[in-house]
Structure 1
């Protein structure tokens, strides 16, 4: 299981029930760009990150990340909410 920043972005998108294609449209990015963010091959800029959180209803997750909470802890919590853990 991936436990980094990209995994958290992926979990937020999944929790919101949004496909990579749909989120790409919302962020004015390509689907491959979204995939690169989720696989940690690329980091989103702060504006993209904030819009991602807004579009996926994940402001709480963003605050936890910015507050220094470990991504693995956040991921575990998000997965519990969606019933995947």
Structure 2
């Protein structure tokens, strides 16, 4: 599984630079870059700390379940017909 894109998305969502996150995780900025680019796989302890420090637990759960943002919205549309209009509007924005 490729984690780099989701790790970068979590960091971006939290509004952190690579340097800021590296400081919080007690690692080098170059390691953050390598993890995000997929040239180095993070140990589970770093992976978990990354998710906790970026407060992106729901993003990780969705990702591990094989859902991206559009997939989550599509599931909501399928399950909750009353959200169809709102969901369609949001999907059109993406």
Q: Same fold (TM over 0.5)?
A: yes
Question: Which protein shows a greater Rg?
Answer: 2
TM-score of the pair, normalised by structure 2:
0.66
Q: State the match for 1:44 in structure 2.
A: 42
Report the Cα offset of residue 56 of structure 1.
0.4
Equivalence map 1:1-85=2 (5 Å): 4-66=2-64, 68-69=65-66, 73=68
Runs (4+) of structure 1 moved beyond 6 Å?
none
Q: What stretches of structure 1 of length at least 5 have no aligned partner?
A: 78-84
Higher relative contact order (CA 8 A, sep 6+): 1
Say if 1:12 and 1:58, in contact at 8 Å, map to a contact too. Answer: yes
CA distance in 2, matches of 1:43, 1:75: 26
Q: What stretches of structure 2 of length at least 5 have no aligned partner?
A: 73-93
Higher helix share: 2
What is the total number of aligned residue pairs between the two structures? 72
Report the Cα offset of residue 63 of structure 1.
1.8
Say if 2:4 and 2:38, in contact at 8 Å, map to a contact too. Answer: yes
TM-score of the pair, normalised by structure 1:
0.73
